[in-house]
Structure 1
Amino acid sequence: MIQVEELYLAPDATVLEALRKLDQTGQRILFIAPQGRLEAVVTDGDIRKFFLRGGTPDQPVQLAANYHPLSLPIAERGRAREVLERHCIDALPILDKRGVITDIVFARGLDVDNRKHTDIPVVMMAGGLGTRLYPYTKILPKPLIPVGEQPIAELIMDRFRDFGCRDFTMIVNYKRGMIKSYFSELEKDYAIHFADEDVFMGTGGGLCLLKDKIHTPFFFTNCDTLLDVDFGDLYEFHKNNGNLITMVCAFKHYTVPYGVVELGQDGNIAAMREKPELDFLTNTGVYVVEPRVVEEMRDGEAIGFPDVIDRYRAAGEKIGVYPIGENSWMDMGQLEELEKMRRKLENQS
């Protein structure tokens, strides 16, 4: 069981440090509380809004925090459920007369579901060869590679279904007969349609097969990416910001395992850094897309979806980023990552 103090964040912490701590704790909220006295809270949503305003990970978390958080005195703890439900928040600090946090009531502990549900369609790009997962993909197409007791594609669909999505389309090519056979025999409470890609058209080109078939915004996902995010909140973020496309990006922290040498113009050493640490945003391969993008796809064009995004970005269209923590993203695109995903899901069960 998590201790209250594990959710405390130093007032001088950076936004990046807050993101790391959110990942470490598995919670969606942290508290700035010197000597236990509540001053502010910071949530994953606060950090997303901060980045939308142009903030950067190295800035003080104080710039992203909410200094007027909801709380309850000890005597009113019995109202916690009512407050959590009315304000759709994940956690509520309980304070003594000095403003010191004595307890935190979490929505999950009260069976309160604060997730934002949505029923927009989901399109899955599932036609690739999966060469990075060879030799598994010599036998099975990547969407059917098992992670635990279920194929990865089914796990992805289950996560979307938990948020209200009931309409799925798979763009299939390689070993598509096996994919269709598996999902046609699967007992499920959602509908799956298939779009046959006869020639490989990349991670974006296959969308042209859906012209006149999709008329609302939709989630667009690779078949090897599992996210632990509130998809309803993601869709609301997309709508509220008027984006043509919203890309889900994960913060990554990477330590280069070598000493890095930088050369000057004269060929001499300009600088040396021992095992430098890098922090960056990376594309998870999950998006919210407006239907107009499908209608404007060029028939038969082989193109990656990042290139489609670049095309619109160069034309001045609004492309948004929905940032998530590193631990909210699991990718099985390579054998090593597949094993990590399996271990992580085993620990969650």
Structure 2
Amino acid sequence: MDFRSFCMLETESLRTALAHLNQAAKKVLFLTDAAGHLTAALTDGDVRRHLLSGGTLEDSAANAGNHRPITATGREEAIRLLAQHGCIAVPVLDGAGRIMDIVLEDERQAEPHAALGLPVVIMAGGKGTRLEPYTKILPKPLIPVGDLPIMEHIMRQFRQYGCTEFHGIVNYKKQLIKAYFSENEEHFDTIWYDEDKPLGTGGGLSLLKGKLSETFFLTNCDLLIFTDYEKLLRFHRENGSAVTMVCAEKHVTIPYGVVETGENGVITAMREKPAFQFLTNTGLYLVEPEVLEDIGEDEVIGFPDIIERQRRKGRRVSAYTVGEEDWLDMGQLDELEKMRERLYGKP
């Protein structure tokens, strides 16, 4: 399918647009400017509403279009949005807003995921201070992203891979978290572990000693990773790793000219708006159960320090890389809306 057959310049007339819509298998057009940037979506219903409000067929298509269509940044996201919203089609945009592809409703039945069946441990005890003032009222796992709290989004995603056994480590406002899931219609199979005091991003795992006997997923409660979890598990096992950390590529451009100096303020180098590329820890891991035995009771420790402890013992630790666009993190307020748009599309 050539997606360009669903595209038309926004300056074309509604008469021309109607002719295209009558010929198209799917009754939708995506309007673009001369550079290919998406500006609106147009259906025959949009045209009828425009005409009923006093418009004419000689008006430009842009006058009748929906200027806030649902869009995606990748095919998997587009397929998910098709299922969520019952759309005819979802355009896939590049970083500049140009149409790269269009996914049609016929494609929304994605291939079923492999049933991995691994336990999932969710670190849900933090105060979420970066999300204040919301977390003054709700614990971070219950902060809503669209229609559902972030923790439920995480659990639903794992359940697509047959992972139905959940272990939640809780502390801050833990009774609210437990109450929400105890009355949840989805009936998630969850075992709760109470931290009596904050133990960091890793110390709470000591509560699971003797409770897990197989490889398990470990995730923070504020992120979603869109990747093939079967490939991730295969990578982990083929490498014989004690821990596999999922890392995302990050590209950062410093918006200033950067100056390096030597003695007495002598300029030694200048770089205009330098760009850097690096890997960052997303907060999702695959972990072998023996790692739990190396965590002391009531030990306050971050999980990256636990990984370093494994590395010093000579155990293999690995990094599995995903694209920057495959990592959604709602750890800060400005990221919360980005996550909602990625899951549900722009309003």
TM-score by length of 1: 0.68
**Among 94, 98, 123, the residue aligned to 2:121:** 123
Matched with 1:167 is 165
Instruction: Please tell me the residue identity of whatever aligns with 1:141.
Output: P
Contact 1:220 1:288 in 2 (8 A): yes
Q: Give SS of 2:251's match.
A: strand
Aligned length: 253
275, 279, 282: which one pairs with 2:280?
Answer: 282
Report the CA distance shift for 1:111/1:152 in structure 2 as closer, same or farther (over 3 A).
Answer: closer
Partner of 1:312: 310
Shift of 1:273: 1.2
- The one-letter code matched in structure 2 to 1:119 is G
String of CA shifts for 1:276-309, please: whole Å, max 9, x gaps: 1111111000000000011221111101101111
Contact 1:116 1:230 in 2 (8 A): no
- Aligned with 2:265: secondary structure? coil
Q: Residue 199 of structure 1 corresponds to which residue in structure 2?
A: 197
1:232 — aligned with what? 230
Pairing 1:253-292 to 2, within 5 Å after superposition:
253-292=251-290
Moved over 3 A (4+): 1-4, 108-112
For the pair 1:218 / 2:216, whether they are aligned, the reply is: yes
Provide closer, same or farther for how the CA distance between residues 233 and 189 of structure 1 changes in structure 2, counting only shifts above 3 A: farther
d(CA) in 2 for partners of 1:157, 1:325: 22
Matched-pair contact (CA < 8 Å) for 1:238–1:320: yes
Give, in whole Å, the separation in 1 of the partners of 2:294 and 2:170.
Answer: 21
In terms of mean alpha carbon deviation, does 267-276 or 243-252 score higher?
Answer: 267-276
Q: How far apart in 1 are the matches of 2:188 and 2:168?
A: 13
Q: State how far apart, in whole Å, the 2-side matches of 1:110 and 1:148 are.
A: 20
Larger radius of gyration: 2
TM-fit CA distance, 1:316: 2.0
Q: Amino acid of the residue matched to residue 26 of structure 1?
A: G
Matches within 5 A, 1:172-183: 172-183=170-181
Are the equivalent residues in 1 in contact too, given 2:291–2:310 (CA < 8 A)? no
Against the structure 1 CA distance between its residues 145 and 113, is the aligned structure 2 distance closer, same or farther, given a 3 Å change threshold? Answer: same
Amino acid of the residue matched to residue 315 of structure 1? Answer: K
Residue in structure 2 matching 1:249, options 239, 247, 250 = 247
The aligned runs of 1:18-33 (5 Å cut-off) are 26-27=74-75
Q: Deviations over 1:192-221 (max 9, x none)?
A: 110000100000000000111111110000
SS at match of 1:188: coil
Match in the other structure for 1:294: 292
Asked if 1 retains the 8 angstrom alpha-carbon contact of 2:113 and 2:160, the reply is no
5 Å-filtered alignment, 1:76-115, equals: 109=107, 111=109, 113=111, 115=113
Offset at residue 157 of structure 1 (A): 0.6
What is the match of residue 53 of structure 2? none
For 2:315 and 2:330, the matched residues in 1 are separated by 31
- The aligned residue for residue 186 of structure 1 is 184
Q: Report the CA distance between 1:342 and its aligned residue.
A: 1.4
Equivalent position SS for 2:123: strand
- After superposition, the CA RMSD in angstroms is 2.3
Distance 1:141 1:25 in 2: 30
Give identity over the alignment, percent: 54
* Greater shift in the superposed pair: 233-242 or 210-219: 233-242
Q: Which amino acid aligns with 2:302?
A: G
Q: Match for 2:213: what amino acid?
A: H
Structure 2 CA distance, aligned partners of 1:274 and 1:296?
47
Aligned residues of 2:282 and 2:327 also touching (Cα < 8 A): yes
Letter paired with 2:162: G
- Correspondence list, 1:63-82, <5 A: none
Unaligned runs of at least 5 residues, structure 1: 5-23, 29-105
